[in-house]
Amino acid sequence: MTLINEFRDKDLILALSELIKRESVKHLNIMEICGGHTHSIMKFGLSGLVGDKINFIHGPGCPVCIMPKSRIDEAIKLASRDDVILCTLADMLRVPGSNTSLQKLRGEGADIRALYSPLDCIKIALENLNKNIIFFAIGFETTTPMTASLMQKTVELDIKNLFFHINHVTVPAPVRAIMDDESVKIDAFLGPSHVSVITGYEIYEDIAKDYKRPIAVSGFEPLDIMDSVLNLVRQQNAGTHEVYNEYARVVSRSGNLKAKELISRYFEPCDFNWRGLGVIKDSGMKIRQEFSYLDARIKFDCEVNSKAESKACICGEILRGRAKPYDCKIFGKACTPKNPIGSCMVSSEGACAAYFKYAKEAI
């Protein structure tokens, strides 16, 4: 689609770069909540185009990066069973658990499948009636409706051998948890793109008001991010803290109502233990009681004894915005994309992986 190329137009990006540099008066720490933005900022070298006063801080918005070891260990325990086919989205396979990863387990013969779409589970379930199919579901509000849609199909088609291990999380709760930590210095936020497509930008309005911080909901293209940064600079100069919707070509204030209805039909909030951030109240999703017969954590034994995180890894500090990847002693040495120790190195959208790929000179 030509729009992609146009939103990467060099002359337009340089014009916005000039405006940002010209108008930046004070230092501005901008946290990009979403890992997709981290990836774009590093890939297109945007840090170098916004001037010295803008500092990008990489937030907790990568579903792979925030997955606690215990949840991975639960998936590994389930996938180790002879009567189970474990299905998930590709990035999760490489995340290290306490002793192994799903990828290594698959190499040893376990039936673990990386899906293109959650809907693929239906076909796998119907073709393997003698097995229990478990969908290891991950992601923020972006992917929660897809899981809910799959649950709806499972109920409608009365499929008896498909179960769900739910690890869905939400954006507002960790943002509030980070802002409540007084050691964190964040002046403004880049709001997530695709979470906002589902939720609408209204979910940020209370955060902007309560913490007096401007938020720009931004697309992933370089021009989107540059325009959003310019808006945040202008809001800082004007002393305002509004929610700016730069990504209006797909994001509305109220979001995708059909998707939101599906989410609330099948899920309710629960506490979730974030890798690096700890337990945050009402920050995750669990299956409603009515559909608990679909819950793999109830149906199967998921008890695990997980090891503590590596002491050398500072993913938690990075997710809070208190450290950069190259502040970590093992970054690029013991911890690389080929052999990730911490979760921020596993996903291509993790801050450490983005720094490793695009900013090796920073090591």
Partner 1 sequence: MCLSIPSKVLEIDENNVALVETLGVTRRVSLDLISDTVKVGEYVLIHVGYAMEKIDTKFALESLEIYKKIAEDMASGEIDEDEGDMGLNAMSERR
Q: State the residues that interact with partner 1 by CB under 8 A.
A: 1, 3-4, 6-7, 9, 11-12, 14-16, 18-19, 22-23, 34-36, 39, 61-64, 89-91, 115-120, 139, 142-143, 145-146, 149, 192-194, 197-198, 220, 223, 227, 230-231, 234, 244-246, 248-253, 256-259, 262, 347, 349
- Please state the closest distance from residue 118 (CB atom) to partner 1, in A: 6
Minimum Å gap between C-beta 329 and partner 1 is 28
Smallest separation, CB 194 to partner 1 (Å): 5
CA 24-28-31 angle, to 5 degrees, is: 135
The torsion of the CA quartet 285, 288, 292, 294, rounded to 10 degrees, works out to -60
- Contact between 284 and 297 (Cβ < 8 Å): no
Q: How far is the CB of 357 from partner 1 (least distance, A)?
A: 14
Nearer to partner 1, 185 or 258 (CB): 258
- Of 250 and 298, the one with the shorter C-beta distance to partner 1 is 250
Closest separation in Å from C-beta 344 to partner 1: 14
With a CB cutoff of 8 Å and minimum separation 6, the contacts of 299 are 132, 163, 293
Query: Rounded to an integer, what distance in angstroms lies between the CA atom of residue 36 and that of residue 21?
Result: 24
Q: Note whether 337 and 345 are within 8 A (CB).
A: yes
In 3D, which of 348, 283, 352 has the Cα closest to residue 312? Answer: 352
Q: C-beta of 126: minimal distance to partner 1 in Å?
A: 15
CB nearer to partner 1: give 185 or 249: 249
* Residue 165 or 194 with smaller CB distance to partner 1: 194
Tell me whether residue 21 or residue 81 sits nearer to partner 1 (CB atom).
Answer: 21
In the bound state with partner 1, the residue whose beta carbon lies nearer, of 156 and 303, is 156
d(CA 114, CA 260): 26
Residue 187's Cβ-count burial label (10 Å; 0-12, 13-18, 19+) is buried
Helices (H), 2-109: 2-6, 10-23, 35-43, 69-79, 102-107
Helix (H) or strand (E) holding 155: helix 144-156
Distance CA 195, CA 105 (A): 31
User: How near is the Cβ of 104 to partner 1 at its closest, in Å?
Assistant: 21
Q: What is the per-residue DSSP string for 280-299?
A: EEEEEEEE-GGGGGGBHHHH
Closest CA to 218 of 200, 192, 236, 195: 192
Q: What are phi and psi of 132, to 5 degrees?
A: -95, 125
CB of residue 216 vs partner 1: minimum separation in angstroms?
9
Q: How far is the CB of 233 from partner 1 (least distance, A)?
A: 10
Q: Which is nearer to partner 1, 192 or 342 (CB)?
A: 192
Q: Virtual CA dihedral for 262, 267, 271, 273, nearest 10 degrees?
A: -70
Residue nearer to partner 1 on the CB measure, 23 or 317: 23
Pairing type for strands 267-274 and 278-287 reads antiparallel
In the complex with partner 1, the residue whose CB is nearer, 139 or 311, is 139
- Token pair, residue 168, equals 């869905």
